[in-house]
Chains A and B, each alone.
Chain A
Amino acid sequence: MAFNDEVVKDGRGVVYKLDISLDNFSTITYRYSTHANVDATNAYDPRIKAIGSIGREFGVDHLLASTSFDVVLDNADGGIDWLTNIATADDMLASRMRLYIGLFDVAAPTSIVWKQLGEYLITDHPERREDVIALTVSDDMMGWLQDVVPTPTIRNWYELDANCPLRNLADDAKTAMEAEGALEVCIPLAWGSEWLMARLPSNRHTLSGAQQYATIFPLYCTTRSNQDGSEVQKVLADVTANFTTIIETADPDGRKPEFVRHSAGNHVHDLPPTIVDITDGVTELTIWSFHRSSSFDYGGKTWYVWYLAVFTRPTHQWAFMLNGSADRYSEPHISQMDMMISFPTLWVKGFPFSAQTITTQAQQTPSDIITDIITYYSPGTVANLDTTSIARVKANYPAWADACLVINGQGGARSSLAKVLSEFAESFDFDLYLTWLGTIGMSARNLDYTSQTATFFEINESRIKDMREVLPSREQRGAYYNRIYLDNFRTDLPPLGRDPVLGPFDAPGLVGAPDPPITVEQRICPKTLGSRWQTMATWQWNPWNFRNVDTKVRNRVTFETDLEALQLELGDYFKLTWTRTLGGPYATPTLFQVEELTLDPARNTVRMSGLWADDLRTDKPYLLDNETFLTRVNSSGGRTATVTNSSTTVTFSSGNLVGDGVAAGDHLILKDATNPSSMTRFRALKIASVDSATQLTISDPDLAFGGTGVAVATWEIRRSHLTYPTFVTDPVNYDSGSTMYGRCADDVVEGEYSDATAAHQLLDG
């Protein structure tokens, strides 16, 4: 018995219960409910007198909206004075609560199915009245997101990592850095292929051994403990700075050193990371290298710092060539190679960076990064995530939708984790929301197969009350727009970085040919989209091509309905029928996307709103796996197909199979009404070849058709996966670049339809 099965039934009993924990749900200390005996194992004190409305809605700035409500508990006997007593204030402050709604068959009230309605903290402290205690609770997830986990400062690294290379820093250099406050800056967290500004570097110091000196640039920190051999290549895509390379000759004649080469560039990759001693042609000496520090504990986590070391070596009497370069410096007395860097503008560009779960560039979707942050760099865990909805959004992002994010970096996102996630979500057109369970869900306007083939929740007049419908006004959520500006502002980009605002970008057709017509009363409706964390590779593109935006005019319906709506989460799609008995406006089921859900426990009703999304069904019909698009031809018009036992030949009474486009690999589906339950003439057959306008050959091994010359009146020929319709073959139904999802009747993959056994045969396609 599942909650969703019960909630659709009429006359179900309804109860609520509240679990209160003082130790983050390692144990439940108090159990309160609306009724006694709601649990066979644990005793619930029936003290709940009232619960306020519990809401779920998309928040401003794409961030989950906090919800709070009042709870009134019976305290006529003083049994819950612990909520207000001075001596137990610590317990009250430590309280975390989980609220549940339970449903039961009134004939069997001991079997209650529960649905969790979130996890909450006490916000307004409880108020003791004559016979009750009233308190206000708020969802706990917002509490989790208030603070990003503190990252170590350079000083933390210096002091906590016994192997920190900065420990070799000369005293005067350290004093100088302390005076600048350079040791107190946070080492950033970073994800994605974006430029990351290195922190203020230490001055030159010994790295290992008296002859090796390096300048250390702490780049970013991570809690990722594993490291494989290709880490550098995967992580460090590029480093940029104002480099000046100096190679000096020796001073054989007692003269001052002489420049023999002087190069400058923006990329460290302009220089190979090593040089080779040309005296033996083998010995490699490092110019720059990328390192991971030893681990050290800080703030309850184990950290590693990745840093760039730029080496300067006394190379007296050595000769060098640049490794991999055609330039050879054969002068026998090169004395020194040095690389000067204009401090502090050094930048790196890479891929997974601080990520724990991301190891390749292809994984860097916003879903991946959100998962990584919440799981490893917030007070939360993966248990705080609704992995289903996050995966659903991920499936909708194209492979090139690389994302990036820098936290606690110079110019990067700071302050609360909530703000970080808000900026990030705005840049990638998704919403974070609170699920009923209390976890973080992710929603976007999904054009993915999964969301379109699910069984939609359907609602009609019998479940509607107080219906209201509006076109969202300007600046409201869901409002129409046809001109986009990108708020692109970042202060932490390399020289020649971004302009703060890009645009306008007008909707296709707004300027020039009206294809498609997109104006509303010919008005220009601008909208500014945050674009701070779009990667360099994509921000330059027209947002109409790569952002999840559209020009549709969408209206919002808001209405009250039954508890059945608790099956829905924000971002889900549902079908609405609202005929008003006059044939409209939604005489046929119309798709909407849930934007708000508010449960009123006092009345056991749900108020919900949805944004029109039926274009998913009309503009993207292939997403619905509409198999009618696969049909080549059928038996309409009295056209029969004749089959014979042991014969691979099928003849047709009329028509033109060639003209119908029938091709090898298609499937002939016989639907002989005289034997609908057998496999003789109610089955699918693979077409081997089209022999003529009225004859084809099948390749099925089972040629038992139950007779000779049997005419089948009902049949159909469908495309196979080999010839699925595309935007080329069926431009009416398929957007440019689109194709049909899924496969069916594939006789190669996994052996389906591989022989004549009944288990492998196919009844009616």
Chain B
Amino acid sequence: MAHAWEVGNLASGIAASSWTWSNGASTNRAYLNDGRMDKTFSVGSVASTVNVVVDLGASTSISAIAVLNHNLSTATAPTLTIATADDSGFTTNVVTQKSTTTLNQTAPRHKDHILQFAAASRRYWKLTFAWTGSFSMTLGEIFFATPTSLTRSTIFGHSQSEKYFTTRFESYIGETRGHFLAGPYRVRSLSFADLTASQREELFSMYRETRGGSLPLLWVEKYEAVSTAAASDNQEVIWGRLEEDTLSWTEDDFGIYQPSKMTLTSLSRGVGF
């Protein structure tokens, strides 16, 4: 199992008008690529299916698309299909890059998904969302990526946790009352060991790309590059920020390196998550 990563949405520079929803939804389209997933776009109530055609402005090589901070976990049987074409009307050279994939609805992986496929260089991309019945989908970010895979996985025993922000009033007799502020934030430790020099540089390349954690990192838990429907494990993704502003390594044997541990904490999702 290989991990992969990306920093920077390849669709970050396109205008809001580049997102064409099949039901005409247009309010707050800019939220789909504004670099934060807590501001959400609402497509409105739609029966069964809705798609969005994305004009990247020029052919762009893409090998994964992540849909982040959506509410499809509350829809019935949600699926996502990714296709490309040579024209915005999707009449010429239509290619299904990723077959219809049933989205994993199991917490904590139920709000963010990534679909990976073999890299394709196209200008027009179409994401088709479908579900049973009527549903009002909201989306925080659609992230176009060409993830870089790591040749070494995290060590056995790495950890994940969930972090909440709360305030609590505690009386002098011990009675407590809580206030919910936000959460859960997904927290994943990125622990590696016994890397070769090239593996070490892969890791440091990723770290450098985040500028010491100042730019958010899209962490792909299980890399793949196939057009067939993605299994649940291959949909897992965390968009977060590395907490460490320093990454170091030590050489404890000839040509074997031990990097320091990194911790990735997911970004905020807005009110009520």
Q: Which residues of A contact B (CB under 8 A)?
A: 10-15, 34-38, 43, 46, 104, 106, 108-110, 112, 461-467, 560-563, 602-605
Interface string of B168-185 (1 = CB under 8 A from A): 011111010111111000
Rounded to whole angstroms, the CA-CA distance of A602 and B28 in the bound complex is 31
| Least CB separation from A601: chain B residue | B167
Q: Whole-angstrom distance from the CB of B16 to the nearest CB of chain A? A: 13
Besides A35-B38, A46-B39, 17 more A-B contacts (Cβ < 8 Å) are A10-B178, A11-B179, A13-B180, A13-B272, A14-B179, A14-B181, A36-B38, A38-B271, A106-B272, A109-B273, A461-B171, A462-B175, A464-B171, A465-B171, A562-B177, A563-B169, A605-B167
Residues of chain B touching chain A, judged by Cβ–Cβ distance below 8 Å, are: 28, 36, 38-40, 167, 169-173, 175, 177-182, 268-273
B138: nearest residue on chain A (CB-CB)? A37
With the chains together, A109 CA to B269 CA distance in Å?
12
Q: Check A465 against B172 for contact (C-beta < 8 Å).
A: yes
Chain A residues whose CB sits within 8 angstroms of the CB of B179 once the complex forms = 11-14, 563, 604
Residues of A close to B173: CB separation below 8 A: 461-462, 464
Contact of B172 among A104, A108, A461, A602 (CB under 8 A): A461
- Least CB distance from B245 to A in Å reads 14
Sampled A-B contacts (22; CB under 8 Å): A11-B177, A13-B180, A14-B167, A14-B180, A14-B181, A35-B270, A36-B39, A38-B270, A43-B28, A46-B38, A46-B270, A109-B273, A112-B271, A461-B172, A463-B175, A465-B171, A466-B172, A562-B177, A563-B169, A603-B167, A604-B179, A605-B169
Given contacts A13-B272, A36-B270, A106-B180, contact A43 B39 (CB under 8 A): yes
Q: Shortest distance in angstroms between A309's beta carbon and chain B's nearest beta carbon? A: 67
Q: How far does the Cβ of B183 sit from chain A's closest Cβ, in whole Å?
A: 10
Q: How far is the CA of A419 from the CA of B110 in the complex (A)?
A: 61
Picked from B38, B180, B271, the residue with its CB within 8 Å of the CB of A11 is B180
B272:A104 contact, CB within 8 angstroms: yes
Complex alpha-carbon distance, A373 and B269, angstroms: 49
The complex places the Cα of A13 from the Cα of B272 at a distance, in Å, of 7
**Which residue of chain A has the shortest Cβ distance to B181 in the bound complex?**
A14
- Closest Cβ neighbor of B271 among chain A residues: A35
Of A10, A36, A602, chain B has the most CB atoms within 10 Å of the CB of A36
Query: Do A562 and B40 touch across chains, with their CB atoms under 8 A apart?
Result: no
Is B268's CB under 8 angstroms from A46's CB?
A: yes
- Decide: B171 and A36 in contact? CB cutoff 8 A: no
Q: Which among B170, B175, B177, B182 is the interface contact of A35 at CB below 8 angstroms? A: B182
Closest to B31 in A: A43
- With A11-B179, A11-B180, A14-B179 given, is the CB distance from A104 to B271 under 8 Å? yes
Please name all residues of chain B whose beta carbon is closer than 8 Å to the beta carbon of A561 when the two chains form the complex: 169
Point out the residues of chain A lying under 8 angstroms from B175, CB to CB.
461-463
How far is the CB of B36 from the nearest CB of chain A, in Å? 8
Q: Is the CB of A13 within 8 A of B181?
A: yes
State the Cβ distance, B21 to closest chain A Cβ, in Å.
Answer: 18
**Minimum Cβ distance to chain A for residue B168 (Å):** 8
Number of A-B contacts (CB under 8 A): 91
Least CB distance from A12 to B in Å reads 6
- Shortest distance from the beta carbon of B218 to any chain A beta carbon, whole Å: 19
Q: Name A76's closest neighbour in chain B (CB-CB).
A: B214
A562 / chain B contacts, CB cutoff of 8 Å = 169, 177
Contact A109 B272 (CB under 8 A): yes
Give the contacting residue for A36; candidates B169, B172, B271; CB below 8 A. Answer: B271
Q: Which residue of A108, A109, A604 contacts B167 across the interface (Cβ within 8 Å)? A: A604
Residue of B nearest to A13 (CB): B180
Least CB separation from A10: chain B residue: B177
Measured CA separation A535–B164 after assembly (Å): 61
| Smallest CB-CB A-B distances: 10 pairs | A109-B272, A36-B270, A36-B38, A462-B175, A35-B271, A37-B270, A604-B167, A13-B180, A562-B169, A604-B179
Q: Which of B38, B270, B273 has the most CB of A within 10 A?
A: B270
CA–CA, A602 and B168, complex, Å? 11
Q: Which residues of B contact A108 (CB under 8 A)?
A: 272
**B40 contact set on A, CB distance < 8 A:** 36-37
| Chain A CB within 10 A, most for which of B38, B171, B271 | B271
**A10: which B residues are within 8 A, CB to CB?**
177-178
Query: Cβ of A603: which chain B residues have Cβ within 8 Å of it?
Result: 167, 169
Residues of A within 8 A of B270 (CB): 35-38, 46
Q: In the assembled complex, how far is the CB of residue B166 from the closest CB belonging to chain A, in whole angstroms?
A: 9
A109 CA to B71 CA in the complex, in Å?
13
Q: Chain B contacts of A110 at CB under 8 A? A: 272
Minimum CB–CB distance from B124 to chain A (whole Å) comes to 28
**Which of A15, A465, A563, A602 contacts B170, CB < 8 Å?**
A465
Q: How far is the CA of A34 from the CA of B270 in the complex (A)?
A: 9
The smallest C-beta distance from A16 to any residue of chain B, in angstroms, reads: 10
- Contact A467/B167 with A13-B179, A13-B180 known, Cβ cut-off 8 Å: no
Give CA–CA (A43, B180) in the complex, Å.
Answer: 22
Cα A121 to Cα B40 with chains together (Å): 31
Please, which residues of chain B bring their CB within 8 A of the CB of A463? 169, 171, 175, 177
Residue of B nearest to A559 (CB): B172
Residue of B nearest to A563 (CB): B179
Q: In the complex the two chains form, what is the Cα distance from A467 to B173 in whole Å? A: 12
B273: chain A residues at CB < 8 Å are: 109
- Measured in the bound complex, the distance between the Cα atoms of B195 and A287 in whole Å is 111
Question: With a CB–CB cut-off of 8 A, which chain A residues contact B167?
Answer: 14, 602-605
Nearest chain-B residue to A17 (Cβ)? B271
A13 to B179, CA, bound (A): 6
Residues of A within 8 A of B181 (CB): 13-14, 34
Inter-chain contact A109/B271, CB cutoff 8 Å: yes
Q: Which residue in chain A gives the minimum CB-CB distance to B37?
A: A36
**Known A-B contacts A461-B172, A604-B169; A37 and B38 likewise in contact (beta carbons under 8 Å):** yes
A464 and B172 within 8 A (CB) = yes
A462: which B residues are within 8 A, CB to CB? 171, 173, 175
Q: In the complex, what residue of chain A is closest to B28 when comparing beta carbons?
A: A43
Q: Distance (Å) between the CB of A686 and the closest chain B CB?
A: 50
Q: Which residue of A lies closest to B180 (CB)?
A: A13
Task: Specify which of A10, A108, A462, A561 lies most central, judged by the most chain B CB atoms within 10 Å of its CB.
Answer: A462
Residue pair B272, A465 in contact (C-beta under 8 Å): no
Which residues does chain A contribute within 8 Å of B38, judged by CB atoms?
35-37, 46
Q: Taking A36-B39, A104-B272 as contacts, is the C-beta distance between A12 and B172 under 8 angstroms? A: no
Complex: chain B residue closest to A579, CB-CB = B173
How far, in angstroms, from A299 to B17 measured CA to CA in the complex?
Answer: 50
By a CB distance below 8 angstroms, the chain A residues around B268 are: 35-36, 46
Which residues of chain B have C-beta atoms less than 8 A from A12's C-beta? Answer: 179-180
In the assembly, what is the distance between CA of A15 and CA of B180, in Å?
Answer: 9
Whole-angstrom distance from the CB of A36 to the nearest CB of chain B? 4
CA distance A106 to B272 in the complex (A): 6
Complex Cα–Cα for A734 and B170 (A): 42
| Distance, CA A110 to CA B272, complexed state (A) | 8
Contacts of B269 in A (CB 8 A): 36
Q: Given the complex of chains A and B, what is the CA–CA distance between A605 and B272 in angstroms? A: 20
User: Min CB distance, B12 to chain A, in Å?
Assistant: 13
For B170, the chain A residues whose CB sits under 8 A away are 465
A467 partner residues in chain B, CB cutoff 8 A? 172
User: A602: which B residues are within 8 A, CB to CB?
Assistant: 167
Q: How many angstroms from the CA of A602 to the CA of B40 in the assembled complex?
A: 26
B268 to chain A, nearest CB (A): 7
Q: Inside 8 A of B171's CB, which chain A residues have their CB?
A: 461-465
Q: How far is it, in angstroms, between the C-alpha of A562 and the C-alpha of B172 when the chains are bound?
A: 12
CA distance A10 to B179 in the complex (A): 7
Shortest beta-carbon distance from A117 to chain B in Å: 16
B271 touches A15 (CB 8 A): yes
**Residue in chain B with minimal CB distance to A105:** B272
A465 and B182 CA atoms in complex are apart in Å by 25
Smallest CB separation, A115 vs chain B (Å): 14
Cβ distance A562 to chain B, nearest Cβ, rounded Å = 4
User: CA separation between A78 and B38, bound complex, in Å?
Assistant: 18
Q: How far is the CA of A466 from the CA of B172 in the complex (A)?
A: 7
Q: Using Cβ atoms and an 8 Å threshold, which residues of chain A touch B169?
A: 463, 465, 560-563, 603-605
Q: Inside 8 A of B39's CB, which chain A residues have their CB? A: 36-37, 43, 46
* A10-B269 Cα distance, complex, nearest whole Å: 23
